[in-house]
Chain A
Amino acid sequence: MATINARFDGPIPGENYTSDVKNYPWHRPPEIVDHDEAVEYVLDDISQPEKISMIYTLLETGASVSTIVTIINLLNVSNGKYPIDLSILIAGPIGRFIEIMAKKNDLDPKLGVPEDRIFTPEYFRFISGEMQEDSSDEDETMPETAQDDSEAPNTGLMGTPTGSSEEAAPAGVQSAMLGYSDDEEVTE
């Protein structure tokens, strides 16, 4: 029985032109394209008692302001209220409004915004997974490194080469390893 190759199980080029482009609200022109108008729409919308109480509940349960703004924006964009690029521009005013309303109701909202970070080599090492962020204190890392060195095998094939002459094999053994017999000793 023939199996369908996954590479051919996709849309053919131009297939998108055969479907109705107005199937979804975000395929159609948005209702609001003006910044102030969009902000006003959202502020009026979330000021309704049932919606603002839901926002307070979310904040009390630990949701950040930025998370709530993301939810509101994605909902309105998916309903075709305003375009997604305008939603980014109005995120600030909406977040600020939610923060003010939360403070008014004795809540201490988490903004959920990233803090300014100075990009250091340690930070990039952390990003690449080489070290933990909290290990900025070098005193904590140094003993671990020393311990790792002490645990490393120093004999056998996987042993750490030390380079010291004491561990070098005697001349007789070396010549035997090179295939020379005792009779044909290497002359230096």
Chain B
Amino acid sequence: MEYRDVVRQSIKRFMAGETPEQLSSLKEEGLKYTPDYFDELEEELLGEKAEKKDDKESEDGDD
């Protein structure tokens, strides 16, 4: 198995919401960059964008 294959597997697992078990036990306060963190980030960034799109569409509709 090559390095890029391992990277692919790592990304795939993370996208599926999995994190290495032992990794989270390294810190008492837990990891910051978890799948949930990025889900919230996505909602925050793409949610705002979706709202802007909706506003534009409604403005176009008013004209």
Residues on A lying within 8 angstroms of B by beta carbon are 35-36, 39-40, 65-67, 69-70, 73-74, 84, 87-93, 95-97, 99-101, 103-104, 111-114
Contact = CB atoms under 8 A, between A and B. Distances in A.
B4 A104 contact: no
A97 B35 CA distance: 10
B6 to A, nearest CB: 5
Contacts of B11: 65-66, 69, 91-92, 95-96, 111-113
Interface in B1-45: 3-15, 19-20, 23, 26-27, 31-33, 35, 38, 41-42, 45
B46 A114 contact: no
B31 A92 contact: no
A100 B42 contact: yes
A92 B31 CA distance: 13
Contacts of B33: 35-36, 39-40, 90, 93
Interface residues of B, number: 28
Interface of B: 3-15, 19-20, 23, 26-27, 31-33, 35, 38, 41-42, 45-46, 49
Given A92-B10, A95-B11, A113-B15, A67 B38 contact: no
